[in-house]
Amino acid sequence: MRLPEYEYWPYWVFYAPFVPYWIWKSLQIGSFSYFCRVNPGIEFGGFLDYSKSKIIEQIPEKFKPKTQFITSKNEIDSMPEFPFVVKPDVSERGKNVEVICSAADWENYPIEKNLILQEFVDYPLEFGIFYVKMPHIDEGRILSITGKEFLKYKATGKSTLKEFVLSNPRTTGRIEYLHQKFIEEWEIIHSKGTEILLEPIGNHNRGTRFYNASELITRQLTKNIHEIAEGIDGFYYGRFDIKAKSVEALKSGQFLVLEINGANSEPTHIYDSGFSLLQAYQEAMRHLDLQFEISRYNKKTYSSYHFYKAVLHRIF
């Protein structure tokens, strides 16, 4: 039986071969949570249980959409215009990130507390930009850029939306959700060329196709990303999720930052279908080595105690 492409593997399966390497690096540095030192200004380095709103607050206004943080759905000061994006302040891998298009959507949103509300940016292009800066070097650099192609149904005039979803490996685990969301279109044979955006959120586990767009790195783009990173307390390593009006706008450093991820960031360009598994592992190893080196420089600025406290809090 042929194994599925590695981009469809569960997260833990893909990274399982790195566990011995992590143990070896932990013994070298004297801490099993050394990666939490990679961004000493962020809770646990941005590996878990960190507030994304605290990071967004530090981004210059010109680089971010209108954003507000609320502690409770019932205590909101002013409702943003529809549509807007809502996400938990502490979350991972796009969980519970939704586009709210109506009062009913807002009422049905399941999370009640500690939410980020953000205007919906209708720019056509979304990218993940991986940034790194060594603590002893003045300038940072962009390691890679991931382009994102949202899950979209393109009608052939011969098959239904249901058939498309059931046969598409990118919709695994989302079939029932898509069925309910598009129940009126589910069994219709649309005319050839009809397009339906199935998922407006650019996460891999929600059907988005990732591709390597690192050829778009420019001096100006790097300069602007570095400017933002320098304004975030104790930030050296992570991924910027951004939107741009065009490729030309991106290359000239014009974009809006949706959020910034820390030590738990993946170099998502490795899920480009043109990468072999070996190449993907080589890239992942390169990022892990940089994370280790940054953590080594920051060793005196972060205590492992806080990480273990957070783990115990999650368990108990």
Rounded to whole angstroms, what are the CA distances from 88 to 51, 71, 91, 228? 9, 10, 6, 22
Cα(310)–Cα(173) distance, rounded to whole angstroms? 29
Cα(28)–Cα(292) distance, rounded to whole angstroms? 10
Query: What's the whole-model pTM score?
Result: 0.90
Q: Which secondary structure element, helix H or strand E, spans residue 68, and what is its range?
A: strand 67-72
234 shares a domain with 266: yes
Encode pLDDT of 161-196 as tens digits: 999 999 998 888 889 999 999 999 999 998 999 999
135 shares a domain with 239: yes
Per the structure, the complete domain to which residue 211 belongs is given by 33-65+121-150+199-297
243 shares a domain with 132: yes
163 shares a domain with 73: no
Higher pLDDT among residues 250 and 157, named by residue: 250
Rounded to whole angstroms, what are the CA distances from 42 to 140, 198, 233, 280? 18, 34, 7, 28
The pLDDT of 198-219, averaged and rounded, is 92
146 shares a domain with 206: yes
136 shares a domain with 126: yes
Band of pLDDT at residue 202, cut at 50, 70 and 90: confident
pLDDT-wise least confident of 90-99, 156-165, 186-195: 90-99
Band of pLDDT at residue 79, cut at 50, 70 and 90: confident
Which CATH number is 107's domain given?
3.30.1490.20
219 shares a domain with 132: yes
194 shares a domain with 129: no
Q: Is residue 169 domain-resident?
A: yes
Q: Is residue 15 domain-resident?
A: no
Q: Into how many domains does the chain fold?
A: 3
130 shares a domain with 44: yes
